[in-house]
Structure 1
């Protein structure tokens, strides 16, 4: 009986290895199938999401998430794409439906739905108008191509639009003609991704990058995808043609090896008697404060004097008429708000420049709302090309960088430098007239820091920066009250006034290592008097900063505050 029971168990034991073998074989077969399937190229084709759009726009090998409209010469592209490509070169003002395109040489203005336009104030007829479709603005591509040199390549059957900026270097490639099967353009850098387009032998492609043995490509039809590097032959790089340039580009300063040496001429009520001005050794530009904003409509008040211009011209000195916003923030906001008021100011300045034979305009806008930052940049962008057309220079006065909203934060110095010929850094009033503490008008370390911040933080080219320096100082009075509180007041003084005071009181200044200036302190009627002195020594040090940083030159505020030795000292130091 026991023997009979043991035999079935032996049969079951013999079946175990069989089941194990079957399991192993099945696992191996599954693994082999999985490996084969994973290694097998995906043969499925996939239509990209952007193919459902009429004219999808591609930028630098990426879909822009939007599309164009129209065909051929009537191609229209969205405002957002134009702004992405051209930045400040494109401006849209919704209230008037105005579109303004600006370059270094041109200002093109037109309105939505209208073919009538102006180019540098001259009438122009567009072939196609801008249009607003469901709240989305489309611009005609033709003027963008003409002004900025943007190129558009359109897929013959796909309708895909590829936009290329001028001077862009683009790597070319092709599927080798010897390839029998061509290449598969896939949606990702692996053969498991579906096929976007079949590329025939000899097909041209644009190479936008590479990733783990795969090239990121764009086909002639505009489709974007990936193909193995081994299946693509690289060709030459092509450079998109530059935008057309004027035959004689405007040169703002062509005096060989001579730095700008500008001085401001203050004209408050009447112009100076030029017969009493005397010799301004080294000065090659004068900037009389002739023009000021009258109101929010853009009307300009003029105190210009033809005899002054004639006097300067006879001395070989350029005249850059100063235009001020009169330091009035409200009317400045109104005047900068739209194209019509800005153009009104520009037309008046052009008329004054012609009438008084000016060589340039110097903009001095101060005490401005921070919200007007973009509008001020736009004004400069519109003014510059129209001045250049008349061979006139544009300089813009800027303060040192600070946290002051109305006096500093409204200035986008980098963007202003792109549009204007020169920025003049008004490197003074480190301690202003009503400062709560006494101090230098412009210490040398503070001045140098102000220069370096504009060059390094804002990217202002050194060759476009003019260093403004003070010909004045302040005498500070510190009076201690009975409660121990110190009251600080100041009075502005010219160089001659300081020299006279020093002589009268027989004071001997000493060099302040902290400020780099001569300094004097004395007691008078129980109060402490302090003066950080501007003289030939401090002016020479400022001129050395001009040379150290390879700046365009120097500007001085103002003529009439200098002592007799200053012009020769400054001229020599700038050499």
Structure 2
């Protein structure tokens, strides 16, 4: 089996700095200090180090203004840069008071998507408000993914402890225990604003911790990144792949057919050449047209089964493919043993020529739709099992709901990984959603790509709320007398599912389908993978 190259996120480094940081770093090297007003600051050393790291910048030529108070937007941006996260130009803003044209828009969106910061209310972030010391303690502890515990855990040793909010007390106690923040002269000053030099001191303490520093500076492992081709020409598919971090392409090349030759071939050798030139792998798709009768006819006939396997193996060698991706849907329950036999035989044949075999499966809900799939056996014979983490509520479902809610996907992945090793599992995420029209006696839906989703929502007056239980926004609007609802898939919802799966040790991710996403999605997913690695 070929070794898959691990994607490094080196390309994000340049995006972490403000444009002026390069000149500031040069100033550090030439004069010893990057600013003229920090010589007397208690955080002089920390400021210099953070400039080199690209975490902080000046407020003007040779000016840092160490005593100046820090805003909520500024603290979020500095924390993002500390964690090597990239700003996200989200397709839809999370807060009404954070303009997409503001310098801090992307930084706030990145932090919100990962759960590092929250708004002052459901609709307002208040980016220009000064961040207090107790708010800063909460944010930095949360950013470091440290559990503060519940309650105060004992009285805090500050004479102004009665001024500390109950929601901040556990975080302040943890920040103190971690050596990140403490008071002075017996006081913590929870309601005082954080200054720029205080912020620099706190952030630098994170980098002085060897464990945290090593994690932050380690390049994340992106694993296998699969992109399915659908509704795109070959040239469009190539362009979209180049704009993504997909390293494994799945073109729709092979299908079971009813005829003398039971396999159709739509392969384009030019894509194989392009993939090789651009460092991409190809796992060509083998589909069954979702035809249960056709699937039974071929899989139950050993001769036809072997013909398909021989031809697929030959095509794999001819086109220089790295593997085959089996995508069979609507397989009759009684054909389960035939499906397992086919996968076993195909796996042996592909492994003999150094190619891999993956298979797409729906979540195991104990229905006829998945009864033919022996997950444990398929996991044994294939190299990867790809969980299609979508269609929780499907096209034609009379009940409106999410395409891919967080708890549903998490439950499905846990169930799959109970019989298939995590190192063999890949989570597929949706680049689409549905616009549901709520009707008496049921609902009907319209498929929307993520691009169309944004266009639709911006075209109507709508109400939007974040559903923390589902891990996504829910949009409601009325059109032509009918009530509509959209369970939004965006960088925030997809990022949460990505972090969950990455923390469960999946081998990678797949996306249905390439070209349906908005450009910001790739930065959101990159941030999620990096943050999950901490």
- TM-score bracket, normalised by the shorter chain, equals 0.5 to 0.7
Instruction: List runs of 5+ in structure 1 lacking aligned partners.
Output: 1-249, 480-484
CA 1:252–1:297 in structure 2 vs 1: closer, same or farther (change >3 Å)?
A: farther
Q: Residue 368 of structure 1: CA displacement?
A: 0.8
Q: Distance in 1 between matches of 2:274 and 2:237?
A: 7
Q: Residue 311 of structure 1: CA displacement?
A: 2.1
Q: 1:529 aligns with which of 484, 502, 506?
A: 484
Please say if residues 337 and 375 of structure 1, whose CA atoms lie closer than 8 Å, have aligned partners that are also in contact.
yes
Q: 1:553 aligns with which of 497, 508, 511?
A: 508
Counterpart check, 1:433 vs 2:377: no
1:353-391 CA distances to partner (integer Å, 9 max, x unpaired)? 122221110000110111111111111111112111211
Partner of 1:84: none
More helix by share: 2
1:437-486 CA distances to partner (integer Å, 9 max, x unpaired)? 10000100000000011122xx110000000110000000013xxxxx33
Please say if residues 441 and 473 of structure 1, whose CA atoms lie closer than 8 Å, have aligned partners that are also in contact.
yes
Considering only CA atoms, is the larger Rg found in Structure 1 or Structure 2? 1
Partner of 1:460: 420
Q: Residue 272 of structure 1: CA displacement?
A: 4.3
Alignment of 1:380-529 (within 5 A): 380-405=343-368, 407-456=369-418, 459-479=419-439, 485-507=440-462, 509-529=464-484
Q: Residue 394 of structure 1: CA displacement?
A: 0.4
Q: Residue 309 of structure 1: CA displacement?
A: 2.1
1:92-132 CA distances to partner (integer Å, 9 max, x unpaired)? xxxxxxxxxxxxxxxxxxxxxxxxxxxxxxxxxxxxxxxxx
Partner of 1:260: 224
Please say if residues 546 and 552 of structure 1, whose CA atoms lie closer than 8 Å, have aligned partners that are also in contact.
no
Q: Distance in 2 between matches of 1:273 and 1:497?
A: 18
Partner of 1:284: 247
1:146-196 CA distances to partner (integer Å, 9 max, x unpaired)? xxxxxxxxxxxxxxxxxxxxxxxxxxxxxxxxxxxxxxxxxxxxxxxxxxx
1:283-339 CA distances to partner (integer Å, 9 max, x unpaired)? 111111111111276611122111222222222111100000111111111111133
Partner of 1:330: 293
Please say if residues 429 and 442 of structure 1, whose CA atoms lie closer than 8 Å, have aligned partners that are also in contact.
yes
Partner of 2:109: none
SS of residue paired to 1:570: helix
1:198-253 CA distances to partner (integer Å, 9 max, x unpaired)? xxxxxxxxxxxxxxxxxxxxxxxxxxxxxxxxxxxxxxxxxxxxxxxxxxxx4564
Higher relative contact order (CA 8 A, sep 6+): 2
Please say if residues 260 and 284 of structure 1, whose CA atoms lie closer than 8 Å, have aligned partners that are also in contact.
yes
Q: Distance in 1 between matches of 2:332 and 2:385?
A: 20
CA 1:342–1:399 in structure 2 vs 1: closer, same or farther (change >3 Å)?
A: same
Q: What is the TM-score normalised by the length of structure 1?
A: 0.53
Instruction: List runs of 5+ in structure 2 lacking aligned partners.
Output: 8-220
Q: 1:315 aligns with which of 264, 274, 278?
A: 278
Q: Which 10-residue stretch deviates more, 426-435 or 257-266? A: 257-266
CA 1:350–1:370 in structure 2 vs 1: closer, same or farther (change >3 Å)?
A: same
Counterpart check, 1:379 vs 2:379: no
SS of residue paired to 1:368: coil
Q: Residue 514 of structure 1: CA displacement?
A: 2.7
1:503-556 CA distances to partner (integer Å, 9 max, x unpaired)? 222535321123110110011111110000111111111111222211111111
Please say if residues 281 and 571 of structure 1, whose CA atoms lie closer than 8 Å, have aligned partners that are also in contact.
no
Q: Distance in 2 between matches of 1:538 and 1:357?
A: 36
Q: How many residues align?
A: 317
Q: Residue 279 of structure 1: CA displacement?
A: 2.9
